[in-house]
Amino acid sequence: MRLHHGTDQRSETRFVKKIHFGPEIPAQVRAIPQHIAMTILEAIHRYAETGAGRVKPLSGEFEGFLRLRVGNHRVFFKESADVITIHRIADRREAYR
């Protein structure tokens, strides 16, 4: 017997935010080993779909940006109600330079 708690999540329509990539992002992704790049892109999509991820707002020079941590890489982005704009993907050692 299956108990029903609340709404059936399978019937809910999910709102996925659009993802826009800045002009330098394709080159930054190509510079990363393919399996790591795929993990990063999956994490971006998961965040756009569910809001899940290791995200924090940045300060100082990067005020107004959010940071998504994916292993040793950082994704800098801005977010509005329906769009996520990716501005930088870099190894953590170079991300804040």
Comparing 11 with 35, which gets the higher pLDDT? 35
For 45-89, write each residue's pLDDT tens digit: 999 999 999 999 999 999 999 999 999 999 999 999 999 999 999
Q: What is the pLDDT of residue 15?
A: 81
Q: Dihedral of CA 19/25/26/29: which sign?
A: negative
What is the reported pTM?
0.83
What average pLDDT score do residues 5-12 get? 50
Query: Which structural domains are found in the chain, ordered by start?
Result: 16-92 (3.30.2310.20)
Better-predicted residue by pLDDT, 5 or 94: 94
- Model pLDDT, residue 12: 59
Q: What percent of the chain has pLDDT over 90?
A: 82
CB contact burial 22-41 (16+ within 10 A = b; e otherwise): eeebeebbeebeeeebeebb
Residues whose CB is less than 8 angstroms from the CB of residue 84 and which lie 6 or more positions away in sequence, other chains included: 17, 18, 19, 20, 44, 47, 48, 77, 78
Predicted confidence band of residue 4 (pLDDT cuts 50, 70, 90): very low
